Amino acid sequence: MIEGSCHCGAVRWTFKGVPDEATACSCTVCRRYGTLWAYDFEGERIEVAGPTQAYIPVKDLGFHFCLRCGGLAYWRAVRLRDTGQRRIAVNLRLADDPQAVGGIPVEHLDGLGEWKEVRDGRCVRDMWF
């Protein structure tokens, strides 16, 4: 299990197990935040807790920030899927133990252009700087 929190600790998340990959997206939102996302479904492998403020730039996603320190902890789908599941992604840059996520492969998503996915062999530890 991987755990993470915003800087002040008021907002926390857990990811049960280890994600297969992290996504570095270049869309107009994610490139500004500099996040590394790990995806699953709320209440399945991902749990979140603590008070947040959601920024909803598009009709489908809400980006959730800590009310105290402003840390971007996760995004959550606004609507449930037909299966009743809600897609969610946690920001791996907020992992409590960077070593726990350092070896996770990074997939680069060209969200600014063609929505094309690229793997170049880098992992999370390569993205810290």
Tens digit of each residue's pLDDT, the chain (129 residues)? 999 999 999 999 999 999 999 999 988 898 899 999 999 999 999 999 999 999 999 889 999 999 999 999 999 999 999 999 999 999 999 999 999 999 999 998 877 777 777 888 889 998 876
Rounded Cα–Cα distance for residues 108 and 115 (Å): 10
Q: Residue 23 has what pLDDT?
A: 93
Query: How many CB atoms sit inside 10 A of residue 126's CB?
Result: 12
Asked if 10 contacts 50 with a C-beta cutoff of 8 angstroms, the reply is yes
Query: How many CB atoms sit inside 10 A of residue 42's CB?
Result: 16
CA distances from 54 to 79, 87, 125 (A): 14, 15, 28
Q: Residue 120 has what pLDDT?
A: 86
Q: Residue 70 has what pLDDT?
A: 97
Helix (H) or strand (E) holding 37: strand 37-41
For 2-127, the fitting CATH number among 1.10.1040.10, 3.30.750.24, 1.20.1440.230, 2.170.150.70 is 2.170.150.70
- Partners of 54 in the beta sheet? 64
Does the predicted TM-score (pTM) go above 0.75?
A: yes
Start-to-end C-alpha separation, the chain: 24
Rounded Cα–Cα distance for residues 91 and 19 (Å): 12
Q: Residue 129 has what pLDDT?
A: 63
What are the extents of the domains in the chain?
A: 2-127
